[in-house]
Amino acid sequence: MEVSAEQVEQAVVEFYRDPVAKSGYNAWLVQAQHSRHSWTFAWPLLDPRKPEEVQFFAGNTVYMKVSRYWHEVPKEEYEPLKIKILNLIAQYSNSKVILNRLVKSLGAYVIHTIQSEWTTAIQDIITMFDPGTVSGIEPSTALNLLFSILTIIPEELESMQEAMSINSKDKQLITSAIRNSHQSVLSLISQVMQAGQISNVIKEVVLKTLNAWLKLSLPLSETRDLLVALIPYSNYALLCEPVMDAMRTAVTDVGTYNIPNTVMDFVTQMLGLTPVLEEAQHANDENTASLVYSLFTSVVECHSRLLLQCALQAEHQATVVQVVALLLQCAATPGQYPTDETTSNIPFAVWFTIQDDIMTFEGEQQAELLTLFQPVYLKLVDTFIQKSLLPPDNALTLEEKEVFRCYRQDICDTYMYAYYVLRGDMLSHLEVHLKDAVVKMQSDPSDWRYLEAVLHAYSSVAETVAETDNFYVPRFIQRAYADWLNYHQDHMHHVIPLMVEGLVNASLVGAASQALRDLTLECPLTISPFSQPILTSCQRALEQSRLDSAETERIMTIISRVLSVGKDQPTIMTYLNATLTPYISRLSHLKDLIGNGLSREQHNELVSLLKLLSCLSRHLNLNNTAVEEDDDEDGTTRRHSQVVSGEPQPLLLVLQQLMPLLSDIASKASTDQDVIEALCKLLKNSISTLVDDCVAILPAILEIIPQLYEASLNPAILDLVKQLVILFGREGSQEANMGVLLRMVTSTTLSRASADLWNHTDAVQGCLALLTATFKKTPHLTTTNHNHLAPLFHLGVEAIKLPEEGTARSAGHFLAGFINLSRDPAGGCLQPVVAHNTETLVRTLMFCICNSPRHSLSSFSDVLSALCKMYGDDLARTFKTVQADETFLLPRVTAQQKEEFAKKVLKNRGSKRKILEAVTDLALIGRGLAGTDYGAQTRGFH
């Protein structure tokens, strides 16, 4: 279509003026921008008299055309195009937004021409925009403009690699051509930085230019003197960050690995930043301190092994010790994190890197390094005990508490790294802290923070400590020592009383419930002798009614685990009646309020109560002697849960009383997603525990599921259905019920979701996953209802087009399973559906391969592999039909490329890996990335 400047201008104005028609104008403008006409209409729109949005669109069009459509420019137009861009840059030198587009256009032009047509581009640009000679532009503006252009050129090389389809070899040649001018650029940078009359605003731009050029891997030997000369500028707030960025880029470049002596000399000179750091600390300038600490952190992370090797040499050891001391100083930054300071977290990763690299040395070298660094890590332990002290109540906001929790978790990880360096010395050191903390708490029982911080350190290394280590067994052991206690049961009588008392202490109930829960999970038999005090304290804790939902759930887990070992049914039921009655009464009351509308608090309470019962149903299990019959890949174990005494499981007795209430909740809250998910989890856990013996409550479950799914399409219901179908789909007495249940799910999904897949992706994904599992475990349930087969296949074909990774993967598994089953005697009725829709499926797959996200390629490959294996001849005929359609996949994919794809697929029908390679190659062709460095990396990834 012919596109004029006037049409484009009007469309841009209307795009911003009319929000209703915005999408239509956007589509037209994008099409116009990509057309060859944009070379014509863009220039007259770059007129200061035009609306600013029109000028910006024109500038952006010029940049896009120069960067992506260079092949449309004939060689005789190269010079006129350059002149146009340069003139416009001068014209728009004071218009920052549009100037940026034009400068990027010049950068793209340089990248295209610097190898042959404009080999002197960098020097010419420096001459053109020399503030002393350029006319019509203020000297300061010209200088700013010059360095903006010099910054853009190396940046555009990186950002345009994919858009311009530059392969790795060409990129190297272009980089080399640009880098040939680096001495001129470095000399210019040095002159400007030394000039006293230049403002810091301009110098900030100059430093960004330096950083951009350093990313071209300039030799550190040539840039070191300039970088060292920049250290004094880090005292200026505006210049500190770009100085640090430039030094980081230079010292961490991959090329520095080959020049260890130069790196060490530079690191030694970098210690000249120490006075800058001291001045920043004196002035409470946390920003500058953070930048300096971050620089040295990057140095250690990048060159840790080099620094350790140099630490073994007398001439460099002092430098290494001083660098590590700076990071230790950073970790010990005074104040409460994150309110008083946000610096001490910077070097966390360093302590792992150093420890990890020390362990790669052997013999005397490792021993010498351990001797050198053990005092560092001991000091680090002392530092983190202080930094991990819990702040006073209400000292932090909720957001700050979460940040501090993550900070303490990082400290936890670092304690483990310290243990690998210190071993027994760390436990001995912690024991000293423990004794001091106990003495301090004895003198002031309200001051427990020091003791908690020490226990926090112990818990961090509990699972790391060797199982045979009992020399440093602490008198106070917390949650992470569950594994250790399993091997040292004689210490259990010291630990349990502490945890039991903690359950009824508002300040300790969180940690105590976590610790006791882990012990009951890890040591169910060894904890049995302590069941009575545990149950008593749990009951007291629940009665206090000041627990949050997570603490209540943990206590219910503890109760369930303790009752599951060594208790008879009457004892268990007596305790459960006393414990559960208040919660069930409250649940019943909330159920009655649903019709009138629950408040937010009541709704959250209802969900919490269902989750509480879910914990009970997961962990209350007296069956410790059941014989597993068929532990399948879906995690469903076929066994009876009845206990040795012949009495039914207590959980079954509870659920039989509870099911009417749950049915009423399902009926009244059938569209509440939170309630549905909690209810489904409760039922799933119950079925997993009771297995075949849940038949007693199965009628009620089968009544709940349809009313929930028809009202909500919640995928949690589909997980529950899958569990039931796999468990009972082969049982004669329940097979018919499972068939009815499966038909309900498929018909509801088809009627509700098929017309609006985008808003029901979770339900479609869950339904297809359910059917895939059915193909494998109970195929007869799928094939008994022929009416749904074709619509389900179409649903799978449509679902594989969706961008969500999980949905596309489920659709791929479903289609592959459908195709495989269709050739099985049990699934013969599926064969006509596949045969009739093969061309539709192949066209969909090829279109998706060229247009869908990369993560879906394996799903497309799985379906093609199944087609190759089961319908090879049909697929070959279909490929010929698709190849004959000249319009399909054009212009990206040619007929020859479609033919080559078909040959690769058909030739390698027995190799999923080869078919995936063919799919990946077609995807790269369809995206215009074949032959690029990015494309090679993508192909290698698969």
118-172 pLDDT, tens per residue? 999 999 999 999 988 888 888 899 999 999 999 999 998 877 655 555 666 778 8
Instruction: Using alpha carbons, select from 765, 768, 792, 902 the residue that is nearest to residue 842.
Output: 902
From the candidate CATH numbers 1.20.120, 1.10.287, 1.10.260, 1.25.10, the one assigned to the domain spanning 782-942: 1.25.10
- pLDDT, position 768: 96
Q: Do domains 569-709 and 782-942 have the same CATH topology?
A: yes
Q: What's the CA gap between 681 and 615, in Å, rounded?
A: 9
DSSP letters, 581-641, are HHHHHHHHHHHHHGGG---HHHHHHHHHHHHHHHHHHHH----SSPPPS-B-TTS-B--B-
- pLDDT, position 639: 46
909-942 pLDDT, tens per residue? 888 899 999 999 999 888 877 766 555 655 544 4
720-733 pLDDT, tens per residue? 999 999 999 887 78
- The pair of structure tokens assigned to 186 is 């470095």
- The pair of structure tokens assigned to 567 is 């208790």
The angle formed by the CA atoms of residues 247, 252 and 254, to the nearest 5 degrees, is 135
Predicted structure pTM score: 0.59
Q: What's the CA gap between 910 and 299, in Å, rounded?
A: 50
73-94 pLDDT, tens per residue? 999 999 999 999 999 999 998 8
Residue type at position 68: R
Q: What's the CA gap between 857 and 743, in Å, rounded?
A: 31
DSSP letters, 147-159, are HHHHHHHHHHHHH
- pLDDT, position 488: 60
Instruction: Using alpha carbons, select from 521, 460, 516, 526 the residue that is nearest to residue 487.
Output: 526
Q: What's the CA gap between 882 and 905, in Å, rounded?
A: 14
Q: What's the CA gap between 200 and 204, in Å, rounded?
A: 6
Q: What's the CA gap between 132 and 154, in Å, rounded?
A: 25
- pLDDT, position 833: 94
Q: What's the CA gap between 611 and 474, in Å, rounded?
A: 35
Beta bridge partners of 227: none
From the candidate CATH numbers 1.25.10, 1.20.1050, 1.20.120, 1.10.3470, the one assigned to the domain spanning 569-709: 1.25.10
Backbone φ, ψ for residue 629 (5° rounding):
-105, -35
Residue type at position 132: G
Structural domain spans, the chain: 359-476, 477-566, 569-709, 782-942
Evaluate the CA torsion angle 829, 833, 838, 843 in order and state its sign.
negative
Neighbouring residues of 129: CB distance < 8 A, sequence distance ≥ 6: 137, 142, 143, 145, 146, 149
DSSP letters, 260-279, are HHHHHHHHHHHGGGHHHHHH
Q: Helix count (H) and strand count (E) of the chain?
A: 44, 0
Instruction: Using alpha carbons, select from 531, 541, 612 the residue that is nearest to residue 572.
Output: 531
- Burial of 146 by CB count in 10 Å (0-12 exposed, 13-18 middle, 19+ buried)? buried
Ranges in the chain, pLDDT < 50: 466-468, 471, 473-480, 625-642, 644, 940-942
Helices (H), 669-714: 673-690, 698-712
